[in-house]
Amino acid sequence: MPGYSLLNGIRVLEVAQLAPSSVGGHLADLGAEVIKIESGAGDGVRTGGADAVGTPDGPAFMHLRWNRGKRSVALDLRGEEGRRAFLALAEQSDVVIEGTRSGYLAWLGLGPDVLAELKPSLVFCSISGFGSGGPYSRLGSGGPVFDGYAGLRKVNLPQEPPTEGMAGSTGPSIAMYALGAYGAMGVLAAVLDARRTGVGKRIEVAGVDVAAGWIPDEIDAALNRDRTVLRDGWLPDGRLPDWPRLEAYRTKDGGAMLFGAHVEKFWHAFCTAVGRKDLLDYDLTTVDDGSLDRAEHVWRELKKIFAERTRAEWTRLFLEHDIAGGPVNTVDELVRDPHFTSRASTYRLSTDHGELELAASPVRVVGETFAPEPAPALGADTATVLVGLAPSTRPAPSNQDAS
């Protein structure tokens, strides 16, 4: 069973590996029936990543998240029987997701043109790294590649072998995780359109396009350099003159707070609360030769002020005095943060490895509890899904078509 009930009645047929599996994952979380077609060893995400659950050969947390609530059907799409079953399932589905290199299903004789003839209202969503067009479309790729392509990833190039991180960075891939949300959004819009028109659209989401779309302001400015000028009130380096009011500061206990007092009311509230109204006398709005000196002086004062209280004490003070900002957490600190634990941010799941507590969908549905079934074992639902399945009205492509 999926996590929520919002998409009950929508059936999704998914042929996806690794990050593209997250598209169907989001749809399953919201209530769609997602039938995952797998062959061989199945989706590589089942054992991806350094962390395994329970035993060294246990499932990956990413698999438990991206494939939860789905049904796994083992089909060999290179064989006639498997292709016939796929076509029959497609006739009963609203969406087909191709989460491989673009064109894989067409190569098998099961592409969007074939499926559109079979069921005109079927939505076809292609999820790939570099998309179906352009000189890089056949390149293999992955999360770090998406971000690196778009200038979204800060890549370190050390002279000696690196001691931490991967692919030149310690940060997670942004586009790899955003890919699923954009894909699910496109699919849902296309399903609504198909119900209105009776015709299913083809949707394409490429990881590199998602990465590029994450920084549209910078891209738009780069595309229009001859028309891009510095707005009044901003420093030449791209910061506001009051940048100390939008900074992170170390706290007494070694933690940190992000200060968000760019708005005047928050700045006044902070200076009043800490007994430093003298800081209000510093002009942090005018851009002139003294802007940098004034800002650096205020920054040094704020640095000393934040070191006087612990992170928890600052959080309470911010709440009591209506000051914008918040605590900076490590991941280990986040899972113990009282705000995180109070917001139904996790759910519990009984598995062969004991009870697990896992991160829930970031979507909250008032009146419903997020409680998806676990990610299925490879082929666990093959018999139940295929039993009684009516043969497709379209002949299966020949072996020659799928070679």
256-270 confidence digits (pLDDT tens): 999 999 999 999 999
Residue 95's beta-bridge partner residues?
Answer: 12, 123
Q: How far apart, in Å, are the Cα atoms of 138 and each of 32, 128, 132, 207, 212?
A: 31, 10, 8, 13, 19
Residue 126's beta-bridge partner residues?
Answer: 98, 204
Residue in this structure with the two tokens 């004991």, named with its chain if needed: 354
Helix-helix angle 21-29:174-197, to 10 degrees: 60
Average of pLDDT values for 240-255?
Answer: 97
398 vs 204, higher pLDDT: 204
pLDDT in tens, 310-330: 999 999 999 999 999 999 999
Q: Give me the pLDDT at residue 402, please.
A: 46
Name 40's Cβ contacts closer than 8 Å, sequence gap at least 6: none
Average of pLDDT values for 43-67?
Answer: 91
Average of pLDDT values for 246-262?
Answer: 97
Question: At residue 170, does pLDDT exceed 90?
Answer: no
Q: What is the spatial distance between Cα 14 and Cα 36, in angstroms, rounded to a whole number? A: 5
Q: How far apart, in Å, are the Cα atoms of 216 and each of 136, 150, 175, 209, 223?
A: 21, 11, 14, 11, 10
Q: End-to-end alpha-carbon separation of the chain, Å?
A: 36
50-59, 278-287, 297-306: lowest mean pLDDT where? 50-59
Residue in this structure with the two tokens 């800060």, named with its chain if needed: 154
Residue 336's beta-bridge partner residues?
Answer: none
As given in the structure block, the two tokens for residue 104 are: 């894989």
Q: Would you call 157 helix, strand, or coil by DSSP?
A: coil
Average of pLDDT values for 224-229?
Answer: 91
Per-residue confidence band for 400, with pLDDT thresholds at 50, 70 and 90: very low
75 vs 142, higher pLDDT: 75
